[in-house]
Amino acid sequence: MAFKPRSVFCRDRFQDTDTWSKYLYECCAIPGTDFDLSLVTGHFGTLLRAMWDEPPDPLSSYDYLQLAQAGRPDIYVRKLPSRHLFVQPVVAEGSVSPPASTYITPKEFSEHYTAAAFAAHHGLTCETAITLWWGALGVPNAVSAQDTFSRFLKDLNAWLHERHLPTVYFFSHESSARIGVHTHLAVYLCLSTYSRSKARDEFRRWAMGWPERNGYGSCPRAIRVTGPARKTPWLHWHRFHYQVKGYDPQGVVRQAYNSQSATDVMLGDLIACPWQDPGVVTMVPRLGHALNLGPARRRIGIPDGCDEVRNSPRPKKLSVQRAMSLEEQLGSLRTPTVPRPPFTSRYEDGWRDVRWLYPLEFNTRVTKLSYEPEPSRRPPPPEKLRLEMELI
């Protein structure tokens, strides 16, 4: 059915088809003029079809979403469940538009992904998440929040160093209309695989008591720590996607003429969380990570504190040179160990396929696809060969 939708009923303004159908039903939109009746789904789509004497659609919105995801397994058509559904507000003509939000650019996404992939490559999965609400701490502005966050990271580095844990974490700053400026932080605590880890409980007590130890008083809602008691590697990527949900909706990471699907691959196609407005963020950097995950350590190929072979202590100089044994002489003739190659993430290598960018365990939770290989299409063996095999 040919139609020309009005801007107020445009499908692109809504997160999913069910929310769009509800808006059409509540606004008494007219099919053929405002929208296409064959595209509505869900409960309100059924009401619209009954109102305009249209036969019911045998497929649900879940079926349409799953069909679209099966047709494009290289991107995230489906998204992780979210408690906050966003509908872009309509700005009236002549009104003053709000300041532009601080979106995550494709370049910032690339650096953040590379740091997270570097940690995951060495098994340093950051399952524990910390949310720091600066307003609840009484921090008046973003400049003070920046200083307070720097002090928190300094204490966090000291806490990890005292327990001989590598300094591995990454974070993101956001500003929402509900709670204002806040920070999401994911940290590695070396959780155990089979038993409950004491480090997680100890870290939670330390983080929750940080405001009171630093003169902010009792602030039970200022710092929230969530995470599993055992090692859960796929949560590392869940923390990553939640931190980059404020991406640029217009960001393109691969042009249509370079894409196999002949369509632009958008930045949001590679992010599993639904888009949310990050607000105006003045804290810098917008996305960040520990220096242990930075370019300097990636050029070495391994984070600090994770070397398998430690350097032996430097021997003391003797006033009298002693004779070397045969074993020491042979050891001095050994070829030096080859240095590690620099780490390069798959995104930096040009991959724009979620099946390669993220592990299988995480992708199946998002897309609900099996990703199982197709069965073999080889013809069955001839009857004579079967008979000989049975006789044997």
Residue 4 has pLDDT above 50, yes or no: no
Long-range pairs for 300-304: beta carbons < 8 A, 24 or more residues apart: 300/339, 300/340, 300/342, 301/339, 301/340, 301/341, 301/342, 301/343, 302/122, 302/340, 303/118, 303/119, 303/122, 303/124, 303/166, 303/168, 304/166, 304/167
What mean pLDDT is reported for the chain? 84
Residue 5 has pLDDT above 70, yes or no: no
Other CB atoms within 10 Å distance of the CB of residue 369: 14
Q: Is 218 exposed, middle or buried (0-12, 13-18, 19+ CB in 10 A)?
A: exposed
Q: Which residues of 252-266 are buried (b: 16+ CB within 10 A; e: fewer)?
A: ebbeeeeeeeeebbb
Residue 358 amino acid letter: Y
Higher pLDDT: 89 or 30? It is 30
The mean-pLDDT minimum among 91-100, 224-233, 323-332, 348-357 falls in: 91-100
Q: What pLDDT does residue 72 have?
A: 93
Q: What is the pLDDT of residues 97-142, one digit of tens each?
A: 567 899 999 999 999 999 999 999 999 999 999 999 999 999 988 9
How far apart are alpha carbons 120 and 112 in whole angstroms?
13
Query: Stretch 356-370: mean pLDDT, rounded?
Result: 94
Q: Residue 89's pLDDT band (boundaries 50, 70, 90)?
A: very low
The mean-pLDDT minimum among 218-232, 298-312, 354-368 falls in: 298-312
DSSP state of 335: P
Q: What pLDDT does residue 3 have?
A: 44
Q: Torsion angle, CA of 321/327/329/335, rounded to 10 degrees?
A: -140
Q: Residue 222's pLDDT band (boundaries 50, 70, 90)?
A: very high
Q: What pLDDT does residue 145 have?
A: 95
How far apart are alpha carbons 152 and 154 in whole angstroms?
5
Higher pLDDT: 326 or 140? It is 140
Q: What is the pLDDT of residues 261-318, one digit of tens each?
A: 889 999 999 999 999 999 999 999 999 999 999 999 999 999 987 764 333 344 445 4
Structure tokens at 357: 């960018």
Q: What pLDDT does residue 31 have?
A: 87
